[in-house]
Structure 1
Amino acid sequence: MEEIQKHFDQSGGDFLLSPGEYQGPLTVSRPCILDGAGSTLWAEHGPVLTITAPGVTIKNLRVEITGGADTNGTAVQCTAPSVTFTQVEVNGDVVGLSQEAPNWKFPRVAALGTFAADAENRFQIQLEAPADAEVVCRMKDLRIAPVRLRPGMNTLTLTTQRLRDNTILYGEIFIQTQVTRRIYIYGKAVKGAPVANASAAAENAGLPQGSLPADPIVLHQPDEAVEVLQRGQRVSLRGLYDHELKIVYEHQGTARPLEVDCYCFLLRDNGKASSDEDLVFFGNMESPDHAVRVPTTGLETVAQICLDRVGSLVQKIVLCYAIYGDDSRLHFSMVSGPRIRFFDGTKELYQFALSSLSDEKAVVAAEFYRYKGEWKLKPVGAGYRAGLAKLCESYGIQTE
């Protein structure tokens, strides 16, 4: 993690971040343009970003509270006039920004569970908006109404298209004011499942009239109590260090014959591998410390990790998947419903859908990393169009 406050204080003028993840809090105390270049600024407690100088522009940044419900939920606090936000996403409240109201209440995740294949299904989300907002959905298999929110309690209706059996529905709804807020949508169309409708969804969720559902909202109960992880979420793995964690990659099918392989990079504190042995894959199936394995037996694409065995110099394990071979015509747009599932023995802990991939040939799926002596898991889901060779190069491993 970068010491972002120190870097800001020592710099002058505008402040440009390199793409990545930065731990806050950060106070912007001089007029400037802060360009996050798509980075995430996070802290367990708010405020994460405080602006005390006038004439500040914040752009291309995600600001996120990662602590629990009992923490200060302020993501951005502004005490100065003439502050502009452009392409800024927040997870938390925004306080003091002109024409922006705090105390939004909405679910971060709408888990639709299983619903009927080959039929339209309707769900409802209740959310409380303190100000006017626009609702944007870029999911081709989901319609939303209304597309404008008014101050007060709002009911958002989600209608699925007629999806084929075993199709996973995964994506985001964006709530836009001066900043952007996000609701993750997750569900699965299954043949023989009941058709969901808005009134039944509210009844199944056990919601009293006019009440606000908890986060995450469960409108139609999933088959299993498995947590669906969201991109950028951070999960403590305390209590699992001496367990063998199994990560399984799976998909629903491919448009053309192709093979997806697993690659695990063991990185030092400089973000680089120390040698080729720190890349674990089908050609080097076990790390030198015996902590990470990628077995080639069986039909599943699997990685096995025991965090207690990881060498003390390794600060991060990056879990990646790549399409095998040099055929430029093969990429992840041809893969239907890719996802990874995390197991502790036979118990499934988490799932993470690798959504929004198109012409990428490789994807960074997740990271296991040390933070203040604790191992954490972060889903990433970032695709690489240049493929595996470029990914290896970025981690300090040369390929032929």
Structure 2
Amino acid sequence: MSISLSKGQKIDLTKTNPGLTKVLVGLGWDTNKYDGGKDFDLDASVFCLNGAGKAASEKDFIFYNNLQNTNGSIVHTGDNLTGEGDGDDEMVKVNLSNIPAEVEKVAFCITIHEAVERGQNFGQVTNAFVRIVNEETGAELIRYDLGEDFSVETAVVVGELYRHSGEWKFNAIGSGYKDGLAGLCKDYGLM
């Protein structure tokens, strides 16, 4: 049975699911119809962070042009250019047991490609969510629906997996950035 989270909630992942090592992180969204005339292209990205909340190098930034981290424990399954249809728009495979020891947090983000040039923001995005699925059984374990709290933001940190006392937990973040991907990269130490 899936557990539905609210913004700011934290939950055990591996402690309550003994033996869980491989998960799929599904991210999805819909866009509002508006008269701007330009297509939306939203992208999922992942940052592998150390204890200080910083990425050690650009290899710790996983997105459509860098589909996996150095050891392949986190793999982005590919870019969806339209986001059409129901369900997950983009997915990330995570092998929790193989994530490098120096990685304390894995942040999952959604950004709008060329948001400024296209005049787009998360105020025009609906039904955004992140969900964690047991890769072996297909069972949805955790789901966080972001709600419609955004207006000018062009990037959102939806949630993060993090280590705590040898176990993995999930934190429903839902924090928006008006500076888009550049703002995320700067905060995570890549600029």
TM-score range relative to shorter protein: 0.7 to 0.9
1:365 Cα deviation after fit: 0.3
Mapped partners of 2:51, 2:105: distance in 1: 8
Q: Corresponding residue for 1:88?
A: none
Distance 1:394 1:240, change over 3 A: farther
Partner of 2:75: 293
Residue type of the alignment partner of 1:395: Y
314-323 or 350-359, larger mean C-alpha shift: 350-359
Amino acid at match of 1:231: K
Answering whether residue 168 of structure 2 is matched by residue 390 of structure 1, we say no
Alpha-carbon distance between aligned partners in 1 of 2:18 and 2:128, rounded to the nearest angstrom: 25
Counterpart-to-counterpart distance in 2, 1:371 and 1:272:
17
Mapping for residues 1-400 of structure 1, pairs under 5 Å: 225-238=1-14, 239=17, 242-256=20-34, 257-296=39-78, 300-325=89-114, 326-327=116-117, 329-345=119-135, 346-355=138-147, 356-398=149-191
Q: Which structure 2 residue ranges, 5 or more long, are not aligned? A: 84-88
C-alpha contact (below 8 Å) 2:161/2:171 kept by paired residues: yes
Instruction: Please identify the structure whose Cα radius of gyration is greater.
Output: 1
For the 8 Å contact 1:241–1:308, the answer to whether it is kept is no
Gaps of 5+ in 1: 1-224
Q: What's the offset of the Cα at 1:391?
A: 0.9
SS at structure 1 position matched to 2:55: coil
Q: 1:240 to 1:319 in 2, by over 3 A?
A: farther
- List structure 1 segments (4+ residues) > 6 angstroms apart after TM superposition: none
Residue aligned with 1:251, SS? strand
Q: For the Cα contact (< 8 Å) 1:316–1:369, is it kept in 2?
A: yes
CA distance in structure 1 between the aligned counterparts of 2:172 and 2:108, rounded to whole angstroms: 9
SS at match of 1:327: helix
State the Cα distance separating 1:297 from its structure 2 match: 6.4
Deviation for aligned residue 1:312: 0.7
Structure 2 CA distance for aligned equivalents of residues 380 and 297 of structure 1: 23
| Distance across 2 between alignment mates of 1:372 and 1:244 | 19
**Bigger relative contact order (CA 8 A; separation at least 6):** 2
Q: What CA distance in whole angstroms lies between the structure 1 residues aligned with 2:45 and 2:132?
A: 16
- Say how many residue pairs are matched: 174
**2:86 matched residue in structure 1:** none
Distance, in Å, in 1 between the alignment partners of 2:181 and 2:79 is 22
The separation in 1 between residues aligned to 2:101 and 2:111, in whole angstroms, is 28
Q: TM-score, normalised by structure 1?
A: 0.41
Deviations 1:136-179 (Å, cap 9, x if unpaired)? xxxxxxxxxxxxxxxxxxxxxxxxxxxxxxxxxxxxxxxxxxxx
Shift of 1:242: 4.8
Across the aligned residues of Structure 1 and Structure 2, the Cα RMSD in angstroms comes to 1.8
Q: Secondary structure at the match of 1:265?
A: strand
Deviations along 1:363-382, whole A, 9 cap, x unmatched?
Answer: 00001111122211101001
Partners of 1:234 and 1:377 within 8 A in 2? yes
Residues 326-380 of structure 1: CA deviation (Å, up to 9, x unaligned): 4261001111221122211211112111121111000000011111222111010
- 8 Å CA contact 1:227, 1:349 repeated in 2: yes
Q: Provide the secondary structure at the position in 2 that maps to 1:337.
A: strand
Distance 2:61 2:173 in 1: 19
